[in-house]
Amino acid sequence: MRILGIDPGYGITGFGLIEADRSRFQLLRCGAITTPPNTDFSWRLEVIYNDMTELLRLTKPDAVAIEELFFGQNVTTGIGVAQSRGVILLAIRQAGLEVYSYKPMQVKQALVGYGSATKHQMQDMTKRLLHLTEMPKPDDAADAIAIALCHARSSTSLLSQLQK
């Protein structure tokens, strides 16, 4: 199964495409969609939408996993990320794909087995699962890969098979 993981943002949207076959995982492609700061926000959303549409067309994923938003201290930033996530979700649905959303704690739990895992622990487990010598850059791409791995591990669990 080809899984595209997405870490939404409006300055940087990370993506990671993996191939998952039961408990074997391979990184196929990763990177980021970027928009320059201090430019019209609606233009930035259009760039994200167009680039996401093209990414979906090129990678042809079987499933798309995206991080759910977590609003911390900066609500203004959160609103911008939510708008970015909205155009990403639209692109995914227009491509005819299902969307699977995961909270940051779920991603940590699926990869490390501990919902409060550190960034270092997450990166270490991602490297191990994909047999990488170093983490891909930028960090947003690495986070997107972790989201894809979370879906791969969650969708192949015995519990998910019983729910079908």
For the chain, which domains are there?
Answer: 2-162 (3.30.420.10)
7 catalytic, yes or no? yes
Stronger pLDDT, 68 or 164, i.e. the higher one: 68
pLDDT above 90 (res 56): yes
67 catalytic, yes or no? yes
Q: How far is CA 86 from CA 21, 28, 53, 89, 90, in A?
A: 30, 25, 13, 5, 6
Mean pLDDT across 55-78:
85
Cα gap 82→88, rounded to integer Å? 10
- pLDDT tens for 77-89 read 788 899 999 999 9
Of the chain, the percentage scoring pLDDT greater than 70 comes to: 91
Mean pLDDT, the chain, as a whole number?
Answer: 91
Catalytic member of 40, 67, 98, 143: 67
pTM of the model: 0.91
Mean pLDDT across 102-117:
93
Total Cβ atoms within 10 A of residue 74 = 10
3-state secondary structure of 163: coil
Cα gap 12→35, rounded to integer Å? 7
68 catalytic, yes or no? no
Catalytic member of 19, 51, 140, 143: 140
Q: How far is CA 29 from CA 17, 41, 42, 60, in A?
A: 5, 27, 28, 12
pLDDT of residue 149: 97
Catalytic member of 7, 19, 40, 54: 7
- Element at 18 (helix H, strand E): strand 12-21
- pLDDT tens for 37-52 read 999 999 999 999 999 9
Q: Which two tokens stand for residue 72?
A: 């911390």
